[in-house]
Structure 1
Amino acid sequence: MSRMKSLARSYVWWPSLDKEIEEAVKQCEACQSLRNKPVGVDPPHPWIYSQKPWERVHPDFCEVAGNSTHATTAQTMEAMRRTFSYNGLPLRVVTDNGPQSTSYEFKNFMSANGIKHQLIPPYHPASNGQVERIVQDFKKSLKTKPTGRSVSHQVSTFLLHYRKTPNSTTGKTPAGLMLKRSSRTRLSLLRPEADSELREPQIQQYDTASGRVRQLEPGMTVSVANPRQDSRGK
């Protein structure tokens, strides 16, 4: 369209020149079929926040699940069964339009488990944008993994830190939202007082209930039962 306007202005001009060229291009089927995809025409519709953990799950194929590049429907369902055994069945599963997700076996698997299956618009990965970003972050971590560390080791390390890191949108950690508690990592050693805060009330409660606490010191003489001998000492 821009080149046509530039060329036309080099030879002729009339008041509606630009508008008529624009209309001619819009009505040209060949021009429309080759035009670039519009960017940012409509604002993306955000996913509605889940009201409870495991309400909506967005799986994606990646090494995180230990699948190969060309995972089959059977492998996909097996990976989901393994994950569902940890956390139970979700209410809804959102996937892309891959052959594994659109097969009869997968649809039957979703239906048999009472899970609503939702597909994203074809050729529009931005609909699952957050999942795609996580996959990209994981692939970057694989490229920077220390020499000698196995892929499975890197997977566990990545997931541990990802689940412990506060999300920029919610301000909360994925583990906290899912488990309703803070997961412990080696960084937790920087705040040992957190553990003592939990133990102190327990000790006080024990003192109140029994009235005494047995104190043992290094070097004290004590009697120890030998589980290898019966009550007669044989």
Structure 2
Amino acid sequence: MGISCNYTTKHRDAILRELHDSHMRISKMKALARSYFWWPKIDHSIEQLGKNCHICLGNRPETPKTVVSQWPEAKYPFQRVHIDLAGPIFGNKNFLILIDAYSKWPEVLELRKTDTFNIVECLREVLAIFGIPSTLVSDNAPNLTSETFENFCTNNGISHLTSPTFHAAKNVVKTFKYSLTKMIQDSTNDLCIPDCKNFCICIAIRLILQLTETQLNLCSTEN
């Protein structure tokens, strides 16, 4: 439990604005708040903050109509990775998002173009650092199921699987994509201004991961 002080309305508003600066989910804001401060009905204040944010409302993911079976739990880092594309944001920025199923570690790279060639080049950068995954999961987009992409996976010994729209494991990367989009669209966030470099976005993401004790569960599909 955080420290209970006589916070004035002015101070409470400032704290809430700072708490929601990176547009994390309501449950994450509550967890972070409990570590540092408290006042009566703070949970209600946080809920209203999240529900009235136009950026969060505009990027809310669709609710699955049915519950689909889970992927098997990964046993080690980079055994299975999930990828997706985000964008265009600010008119012309597109990003490749990759998340490790074991640790939930995210990588985000800006794409020059969204064709298969540029996606593969970005994947080479990430895999050169972390190693080759056993399995790569994507959706059925043409640029992720093309012959060139399949050859890249085959030549590197990667099993490429495609995921149904509302598959729970796919929602992990989808949830992260929505969070990233909200963060970038908020022009008040210094790390996510329109002309930011890719490394700034990665720094912002890693700062988010350090905010709570459940830092490796950022991509949970729970509220």
TM-score (norm 2): 0.51
Native 8 Å contact 1:93 1:117 kept in 2: yes
Is structure 2 residue 127 aligned with structure 1 residue 84? yes
Q: Cα offset for 1:44?
A: 2.0
More strand by share: 2
| Match of residue 65, structure 2, among 39, 45, 48 | 39
Partner of 1:49: 73
- For the residues of structure 1 that align with 2:208 and 2:160, how far apart are their CA atoms? 26
User: 5+ residue gaps in structure 1?
Assistant: 1-37, 176-234
Q: Which has the higher contact order (CA 8 A, sep 6+)?
A: 2
Corresponding residue for residue 151 of structure 1: 196
Aligned residue in 2 for 1:14: none
Q: CA RMSD in A?
A: 2.7
2:175 equivalent in structure 1: 133
Q: What is the number of residues matched between the two proteins? A: 131
**3-state secondary structure, aligned to 1:39:** coil
TM-superposed deviation, 1:146: 3.5
Q: What is the identity percentage for the equivalent residue pairs of Structure 1 and Structure 2?
A: 23
The 3 A distance-change label for structure 1 pair 96 and 165 is farther
Are the structure 2 counterparts of residues 139 and 92 from structure 1 closer, same or farther at C-alpha, using a change threshold of 3 Å? same
Question: Residues 137 and 94 from structure 1, CA distance in 2 versus in 1: closer, same or farther, beyond 3 angstroms?
Answer: same
Q: 1:152-231 residue pairs with structure 2 within 5 A?
A: 152=197, 154-165=200-211, 171=214, 173=216
Per-residue deviation at 1:163?
3.6
Deviation of 1:80 after TM superposition, in Å, equals 0.4
User: Which of structures 1 and 2 has the bigger CA Rg?
Assistant: 1
The amino acid across from 1:129 in the alignment is: N
Secondary structure of the 1:84 match is helix
Contact 1:138–1:158 at 8 Å: present in 2 too? no
Over 3 Å counting, the alpha-carbon distance change for 1:172 and 1:142 in structure 2 is closer
| Contact 2:135–2:161 (8 Å) recurs in 1 | yes
Q: Deviations over 1:102-130 (max 9, x none)?
A: 11111111000000000112x54665111
CA drift of 1:154 comes to: 4.3
> Partner amino acid for 1:116?
S
After alignment, is 82-91 or 152-161 more displaced? Answer: 152-161
Structure having the higher helix fraction is: 1
